[in-house]
Amino acid sequence: MLILAITLQIIHLAYNQVATLVDLFPFNGVRFYSMRERLAEAGVNFAIMALPPIGFSLRIPFLMEAGLVCLFVLLAGECSTWWIPYFFGPSPQWLEIYSRVHRETITPLPRRGTNPVPNLEHLILMMLTLLTTVVSLLAYRSLYGLSFPHWWITMPVGAFLASGVFFQCCIGHKKPNQAPEPTAPSGRGSS
C-alpha cells in the first residue's frame, strides 16, 4: 500500500505541474495565464504536493501527517474552487479568473448560467486528488493506525489554508464592476 501511495503522490504532483505549466489548450487554459501566474501557481502547488511523497518515502511520521493534511487541504480547495461556485455562484474575483482562463476549455458538465464549470483538466485532478488522499490515508493507517500525534500543528494550518481558498473563490473581497451612479446636475452652467 505504501508503494501505491507514493506512486499516486508522484503522479498527482507530475500531472498538476504539467497541467499548470504546459499549454494543452483546449484541455487547459494556461495560455491565458501570464508567465508569472503560471510560475506562482506551479511553485505553490509544488511545495504543497511534494510534501506527501517526501514524507511517505522517508517514512517520517510528522511529514507523513503533514502530507496527508496537505492532500485533504488540496481536496477541500478543489471543491471550494469548483463545486461551490458551480452550484451557488462564484466570487467576482474567481468569475473574472474563470472567464479569462478556463471558460473556453473542455467542460463535459452542463453550464449553469455564468457560473464556473469544472473543466476536464480539473475533474481529472480532483479524482486523482481524491484517490491519492484515500490511498495515502490507508497507507499511513497500515503503518501507524489512525493516531495523529502532531494533529495540533497540522490541522490548524490545514484549516487556515482551506478557509483561504474558500474565501477567495466563494466569497471574495472585490465587488463586481458597476457603472457609476448618475449625478444630479449642480445647477451651474458648463464652461
| 59 located within any domain | yes
Q: Give the count of domains, the chain.
A: 1
Averaged pLDDT for residues 83-88: 94
pLDDT tens, position by position, 30-81? 999 999 999 999 999 999 999 999 999 999 998 999 999 899 989 988 998 9
* Residue 153 structural domain: 2-171
| 122 located within any domain | yes
- Per-residue HEC secondary structure of 113-147 comes to CCCCCCCHHHHHHHHHHHHHHHHHHHHHHHHHCCC
Q: Give Cα 188 to chain centroid, integer Å.
A: 54
| 153 located within any domain | yes
| 187 located within any domain | no
| 189 located within any domain | no
pLDDT tens, position by position, 166-178? 666 666 644 444 4
Q: Do residues 60 and 139 lie in contact, with contact meaning Cβ atoms separated by under 8 Å? A: no
Q: Give which of 44, 45, 60, 58 is closest to 13, Cα–Cα.
A: 45
| 82 located within any domain | yes
State the chain's mean pLDDT as an integer. 86
| 179 located within any domain | no
Q: Which residues of 118-133 are buried (b: 16+ CB within 10 A; e: fewer)?
A: bbebbbebbebbeebb
| 178 located within any domain | no
